[in-house]
Structure 1
């Protein structure tokens, strides 16, 4: 147990001093790497089959099924896959009321590996995803109706769509973006990847980044572990251990079903927020129905 405690103490301290971003490579990986990486369209109805799959390198068929409304692309994180519990939770929430087209980036072929390999794979997937978005826009997809949401490593993959294209993605949402300390030199989500980059933090310094990477930054219960209903530590990568990291997904999913459930207050610090020093400051919804605001925002929740 002491070994795990020391690991997290070291992780917290190192995260505070390491913030190095490597070169972001937008070149395309070989065809073998791209095979098996897909965009999955969710019909969001009771038809069978419920999804349609398109290769990441040939996504144009999506345009035949997308309705004339915003399209949300969701990107899951390390070790996850389409049938993973929290991925299903998110896709079902995004489908709620059929307000948007819902497309999942399935990179599970490369996400289930050692973390170092998955991170390197994720950067290649990011360049594939950026190119795929470019192909869709070139074929007629309205860029103003694109919205990208990514969790953990998926948040960093999302950033490539902004970095590697000459058009502007209106909004990217990062759900507890992965902690750079696990792989210091890399290409990470930044506040310049889109005009509106809103980031929800639930496990800062653990599996989530300690850095402030959004234009709007939402710190849930202070932004770090343990979140309500979670333990501080557990066996590495166990459900107990990733509990706080996954709360960002659960909050966003709930915000889709109840857009005004989570309200955050702008404040310079969590201490000031808890002391009620910022009660007259700007307030905004968190998650799906958030407003395009800038700054630091804090909120408290119960068990999600």
Structure 2
């Protein structure tokens, strides 16, 4: 505890010499780190990375715990999750069926497995057929301190990978139809799960992958396009709570990727950030998000990609076989949000 307090003090003292506001570029030379009350605190990149390196060493020494629980939903138990563990006894007592595709759903900061995004995505997939939906509950996401939650991302991802590896080894679950779907910090958990899986996972979907305290130039410490055979990112609050630069092999920018229509006075970005989960659930259930192919992500953000719709739909199950590049996605201000071309 004394070490933690000392490090926090050093970081705080160093922040007294932080960059002037006019020099700050979120995600480039520092981050606006979200606080529990919805405000943001600026931290220079060198200060934050020094602190995180020290905290990572503490994590590696096993000085902190990372509780992770898993809840299985299927057509046989669509609304009441069955707690499962990576043991033969637990899986045998559940409705897990290796003949059906599997989807892991991973929440973000301050959330839990009962958060509405899990229900929406779970219900969307189960409306399409027989799936094993495994909702991940990671307790460190509910830390009051965002940075503490960030430090748990890697170990949480390893535990998700361990569950997937067990299901593959014990029940013969195929990685060829396995998805990791994560929102915000959960998107990076999904990335670490892909990095630590015993084989290549088919797809990872990053729903507005968290920007604060993650560097675009350090892909090994965040979700990146090599973490699965196909990685799709749906970026809705880019430059604030989420990444603006493309994260996935297929990067989708609803309304240009920075803010979302219908999110009135969205000062903190929370509404736009959360829309990524709402859009994805609707996309799975309705396949109704038409897209316009862009030359690059700057064109997508500027909404300068022309008006010709592509054959690609955001969030489509077939994207892994045909999608690469950046796409602008027109959206409505209320449900249904997708615009069918």
Q: Is TM > 0.5 for Structure 1 vs Structure 2?
A: yes
Q: Within the alignment, does 1:150 sit opposite 2:185 as a pair?
A: no
- Inter-partner Cα distance in structure 1 for 2:114 and 2:24: 31
User: 1:189 maps to what in 2?
Assistant: 223
Deviation at 1:275, TM superposition (A): 6.0
- Inter-partner Cα distance in structure 1 for 2:175 and 2:76: 25
* Native 8 Å contact 2:106 2:189 kept in 1: yes
> Given the superposition, is the C-alpha separation of residues 159 and 183 from structure 1 closer, same or farther in structure 2, using an over 3 Å criterion?
closer
Alignment partner of 2:73 out of 18, 42, 58? 42
SS in 2 for 1:124: helix
> Given the superposition, is the C-alpha separation of residues 244 and 11 from structure 1 closer, same or farther in structure 2, using an over 3 Å criterion?
farther
- Inter-partner Cα distance in structure 2 for 1:29 and 1:244: 37
> Given the superposition, is the C-alpha separation of residues 233 and 130 from structure 1 closer, same or farther in structure 2, using an over 3 Å criterion?
same
User: 2:158 maps to what in 1?
Assistant: 127
SS in 1 for 2:240: coil
> Given the superposition, is the C-alpha separation of residues 122 and 298 from structure 1 closer, same or farther in structure 2, using an over 3 Å criterion?
same
Question: 1:69-108 counterparts in 2 under 5 A?
Answer: 69-107=100-138
Tell me the TM-score normalized by structure 2: 0.72
* Native 8 Å contact 2:74 2:131 kept in 1: no
Alignment partner of 1:174 out of 202, 206, 217? 206
SS in 2 for 1:172: strand
User: 1:6 maps to what in 2?
Assistant: none
> Given the superposition, is the C-alpha separation of residues 188 and 32 from structure 1 closer, same or farther in structure 2, using an over 3 Å criterion?
closer
- Inter-partner Cα distance in structure 1 for 2:89 and 2:293: 41
SS in 2 for 1:83: coil
Q: CA offsets per residue over residues 222-260 of structure 1, 9 Å max, x none?
A: 0112x01113543x5xxxx4000011100011112202x
- Inter-partner Cα distance in structure 2 for 1:209 and 1:148: 18
Q: Within the alignment, does 1:54 sit opposite 2:84 as a pair?
A: yes
- Inter-partner Cα distance in structure 2 for 1:295 and 1:251: 19
SS in 1 for 2:70: strand
* Native 8 Å contact 2:24 2:30 kept in 1: no
Alignment partner of 2:167 out of 112, 136, 150? 136
* Native 8 Å contact 1:79 1:112 kept in 2: yes
Give ranges in structure 2 of 5+ residues lacking alignment: 1-20, 32-44
Give ranges in structure 1 of 5+ residues lacking alignment: 1-8
User: 1:279 maps to what in 2?
Assistant: 308
